[in-house]
Chain A
């Protein structure tokens, strides 16, 4: 991996020329028998993979209107063709969203449409051969499911949905990806993606209490499994030990402390991330989400708040109510959802993002800050893809853009925007989302970060930006790893609540 280098910045961000085959290959590590079987998939590629894959595809076409419509509706207009960060970084034409979709669409046409059955060549239909299956495995693991293409498609075709379906089909024939499937196994076995057992978490939290006491002289608690707490905090497990994630965890704890909110973590649900979404498997998505429901019911909490994590917030905001009944508006006969919804306090949004919580408290004058504590930073904000295009905050369209920025401006003096073409709903993925945050894909990750690094360089040169805040655990881990390759200090990236933590005034107000 030492030979991985950053691609050159484009002088003017022109659309790159095609380099066919640039990213051909075997794709990320394939999951072992043990990993696959632990979560109910065949251990390795089954003998009748062809028939089972086609049958699975038929099943998904009947279960997901998105897939069905997206397979039919594309007219090959090319609106999406220059929008993917992996295409921009790799120049491989199969990383154009439309071409990635066509890897599956060509098979769809062959087996599920009349013209494809009669005239395959004419409509670009292909048999599902072993080569095609391998191509799926490779290129559907070069998509981070960031939905940038779906912003620009005149029919709203979302490649993420196609990628999820492809991975679901691959898993169903025993051709799963090691990284994602191993993590899903861990979350079921141990409670979080990193495999930190309960006692280790307790230790970490105790250590944090000591650190904060040393720093501030104040007893900020990091409670775990406290029954009857007001708030259950669900946060990505990286927040417990990874840098810079942990600084945001300290920030959340300080906000809860300063506002006098009783809160708790759960060892059983010590993970906000949900890789079930990445592999497009509804049952896994649901099963992982149900841990949060179980923890909430067991601890009797009134509110559920989610920490800084992009895809986790998409799952929490957009899917939890569907999967687990965390939210409101359940049918009166819907016993499953009513059980939880009766327990929760509906004066607050359920679930709530930690940024919504903090911003709400700032609005109530419940927090005070020493903004100068952040004066060493000239800050910009990187919108994380899943937050930007798959969720919202504050109950109005675009709240997911305003609220984190409002918080930054409330706790720091120097804030600079990156160019509008690369922020808000047009933001670029960090390059490591969607189950690709693994070292066997480092080359892809470095190349995929190109568009973001280009504009970061620009605001660094023009405005002296030296800190890029973000609210996603994957963004933080990805940038920490790839920024040095682009010549940035790895501490250039950090959380919004890291800035909150720096500036918050604890103790007597």
Chain B
């Protein structure tokens, strides 16, 4: 029974995640940016923009300039999360890809650094007056959710082991629309439930910062307004209407 429920849940969550995200990204991509507004100094060509965006996404360059503390815990969390997610690919692929196998030892311990980063972020949110002021209940709950995912994952890895072979069998099965049985394990249920929840809220929450950053005009525009005329379609219309 639990297997069927979780299968349904993960089909639904994946669908919402993928469709929701595509829908949002499509809106971002289609909404025009009528004026050139890169935050200068900015690169003057596309290559420079790609580098700027890469520094922003990989190194969190702007955050580094803003606050070393927030940058340290924020970057630690995100880098660890990336490792953890990549490590989890082993539960969805057979045979496991070589580079995923290579990541395995790092991915395992990244769970701890991820937790550390999350706790750092939450401490900041709770105890720095300015950050507490701007926090909504959902900001706190988002951290609680991620912390719970990390803790339940670490528990299964290092304390109350779950039958990962069976878990992998379940997820490989889902890919063939074949519902295999999931081990009966409370911690595992909790972990999966919360991951599904994270996927479900992704397209309607602040997690949209992940795709959003790529569409941010202050970061993704080249600073070449004098060299290249840039006009949005709706602005172009003003020219024909007024005749000048």
Contact = CB atoms under 8 A, between A and B. Distances in A.
B228 A156 contact: no
Interface stretch (B24-32, B182-190, B191-199): B24-32
B235 interface: yes
B41 A79 contact: no
A158 B226 contact: no
Interface stretch (A25-33, A242-250, A254-262, A329-337): A329-337
Interface string B30-60: 0111111101111110001000000010001
A400 B133 CA distance: 36
A76 B229 contact: no
Interface in A55-71: 61-66, 68-70
A77 B70 contact: yes
A74 to B, nearest CB: 7
Contacts of B230: 321-322
Interface stretch (B82-90, B109-117, B124-132, B157-165): B124-132
A115 B205 contact: yes
Contacts of A18: 129-130, 133
Contacts of B128: 78
A425 B41 CA distance: 7
A68 B66 contact: no
B212 A155 contact: yes
B225 A318 contact: yes
Contacts of B137: 121-124
Contacts of A102: 134
A299 B131 CA distance: 55
B239 A322 contact: no
Interface in A84-142: 93, 96, 98-99, 102, 113-115, 121-124
Nearest to B29: A65
Contacts of A153: 62, 66
Interface in B199-240: 201, 204-206, 208-209, 212-213, 215-219, 223-232, 234-235, 238-239
Contact of B39 (A61, A156, A282): A156
B136 A124 contact: yes
Contacts of B153: none
B34 A64 contact: yes
Interface stretch (A207-215, A358-366, A391-399, A472-480): A391-399
A68 B70 contact: no
Nearest to B75: A154
A73 B31 CA distance: 15
A172 interface: no
A401 to B, nearest CB: 8
B217 to A, nearest CB: 5
Contact of B226 (A113, A156, A351): A351
Contacts of A337: 229
A317 B226 contact: yes
A72 B125 CA distance: 20
Contacts of B218: 66, 150, 156-158
Nearest to B20: A114
A69 to B, nearest CB: 5
Chain B interface residue count: which class?
35 or more
B229 to A, nearest CB: 4
Given A78-B70, A121-B137, A390 B40 contact: yes
A310 B37 CA distance: 15
A290 B216 CA distance: 28
Given A73-B209, A388-B40, A397 B226 contact: no
Contact of B40 (A96, A328, A349, A391): A391
B36 A319 contact: yes
A42 interface: no
A124 B37 contact: no
A151 interface: yes
Contacts of A79: 62-63, 66-67, 70
A433 interface: no
Contact of A395 (B44, B62, B63, B206): B44
A392 B41 CA distance: 7
Contacts of A239: none
Nearest to B36: A318
B213 A73 contact: yes
Contacts of B32: 63-65
Nearest to B63: A154
Contact of B35 (A62, A156, A322): A322
A99 B129 CA distance: 13
B33 A64 contact: yes
A350 B226 contact: yes
B42 A397 contact: yes
B244 interface: yes
B14 interface: no
A65 B229 contact: no
Contacts of B34: 63-64, 282, 322
A157 B44 contact: no
Contacts of B225: 317-319, 321-322, 327
Interface in A20-66: 20, 61-66
A339 to B, nearest CB: 9
B74 interface: yes
Contacts of B208: 72-73
B226 A17 contact: no
Interface string B164-180: 00000000000000000
A286 B37 CA distance: 16
12 contacts: A20-B133, A65-B33, A70-B216, A75-B209, A96-B130, A151-B39, A152-B63, A283-B238, A322-B235, A329-B229, A390-B39, A426-B65
By Cβ-Cβ distance, the 6 closest A-B pairs, closest first, are A73-B212, A124-B136, A152-B66, A397-B41, A79-B66, A156-B218
Given A78-B134, A124-B138, 9 more contacts: A75-B206, A115-B204, A123-B136, A150-B39, A151-B62, A321-B225, A321-B226, A327-B225, A327-B226
Interface of B: 24, 27-28, 31-37, 39-44, 48, 56, 60, 62-63, 65-67, 70, 74, 124-125, 128-131, 133-139, 141, 201, 204-206, 208-209, 212-213, 215-219, 223-232, 234-235, 238-239, 244
